[in-house]
């Protein structure tokens, strides 16, 4: 029973590795998606079949055939690992890109908000100057007449309305920009949460965390993953085949019981 579990695990692991590998290769060669998909599927199948065939026929296979197939399996393992590396790297790059875009958008929105605030300050300064002009006339008791404060204030009406409209427009824009900033801030925080475990790992290894060290940590983690991914699948496949060949069940005809006898195993 254990041998079948090992075989099932090996096939599942190999299928997952193949999927990630093909997805990574199609990302690297995005111009030929279907060609890479077909090629990768056939090569992954050939790798598993070649491994099983070599184990079964190692002692009787011609030397040139078994050596070539062994090299081919190793090369296919390297290709699978390269595809997995590409797939995981793409996933990391997409997360990093999302974080970078959000950060850039926040900076841009902050600049736009600052521009609108400056417009408001300028408009308020002009309004203050207009008020000071009227106040100065009132202080000098020049209220009525064509040059009095009342007449001057009436002459300022259109300008004051325009300045007030400009202030209101800028305030509305700031409100809209703050809403946009909130959306990008949420996205940035989500990205920071995703980067959280990686930062902890980087700080554990290097004692600090910065973009360069984060990238190094990601590469090391991916290498560790691919080191035990496809090779482990093939080793489990070999382990299952060895286990299945190790015991041979024979039937005892007299009492109907099953007796287990060890048999010789073909090994590499």
Average pLDDT, the chain: 82
CA 189 to chain centre: 15
pLDDT at residue 145 in the model: 63
Confidence of residue 265 (pLDDT cuts 50, 70, 90): very low
pLDDT digits (tens, 9 = 90+) for 29-75: 878 888 888 998 999 999 999 999 998 899 899 999 999 999 999 99
pLDDT digits (tens, 9 = 90+) for 219-240: 888 888 888 888 899 999 889 8
Q: 256 pLDDT exceeds 60?
A: no
> Cα separation of 264 and 156, whole Å?
107
> Cα separation of 165 and 123, whole Å?
10
More confident site: 95 or 88 = 88
More confident site: 96 or 128 = 128
pLDDT digits (tens, 9 = 90+) for 123-137: 999 888 888 877 776
Strand locations in the chain, DSSP E?
Answer: 247-251, 258-262
Q: How many other β-carbons are positioned within 10 Å of the β-carbon of residue 40?
A: 22
Confidence of residue 186 (pLDDT cuts 50, 70, 90): confident
pTM above 0.85, yes or no: no
pLDDT digits (tens, 9 = 90+) for 144-178: 766 677 777 778 788 888 888 999 999 999 999 99
The residue whose two tokens read 């482990």 is 232
pLDDT digits (tens, 9 = 90+) for 237-255: 889 888 887 654 444 444 4
* Domain extents in the chain: 1-61+228-268, 93-225
pLDDT at residue 139 in the model: 66
């Amino acid at each position: 029973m254990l041998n079948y579990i090992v075989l099932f695990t090996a096939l599942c692991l190999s299928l997952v590795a193949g999927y990630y590998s093909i997805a990574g290769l199609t990302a690297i060669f995005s111009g030929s998606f279907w060609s890479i998909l077909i090629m990768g599927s056939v090569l992954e199948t050939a790798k598993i079949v070649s491994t099983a065939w070599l184990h079964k026929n190692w002692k009787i296979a011609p030397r040139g055939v078994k050596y070539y197939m062994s090299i081919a399996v190793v090369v296919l393992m390297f290709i699978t690992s390269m595809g997995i590396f590409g797939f995981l790297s793409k996933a990391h790059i997409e997360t990093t890109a999302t974080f970078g875009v959000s950060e850039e958008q926040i900076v841009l929105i902050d600049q736009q908000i600052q521009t609108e605030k400056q417009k408001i300050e300028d408009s308020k300064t002009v309004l203050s100057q207009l008020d000071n002009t009227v106040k100065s006339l009132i202080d000098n008791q020049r209220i009525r007449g064509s040059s009095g404060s009342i007449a001057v204030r009436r002459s300022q009406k259109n300008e004051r309305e325009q300045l007030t409209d400009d202030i209101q427009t800028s305030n509305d824009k700031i409100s809209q920009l703050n809403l946009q900033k909130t959306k990008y801030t949420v996205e940035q925080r989500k990205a920071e949460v995703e980067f959280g475990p990686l930062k902890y790992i980087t700080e554990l290894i290097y004692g600090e965390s910065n973009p360069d060290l984060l990238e190094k940590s990601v590469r090391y983690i991916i290498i560790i993953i691919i080191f035990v991914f496809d090779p482990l699948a093939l080793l489990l496949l070999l382990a299952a085949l060895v286990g299945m060949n190790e015991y041979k069940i024979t039937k005892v005809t007299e009492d109907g019981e099953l007796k287990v006898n060890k048999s010789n195993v073909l090994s590499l």
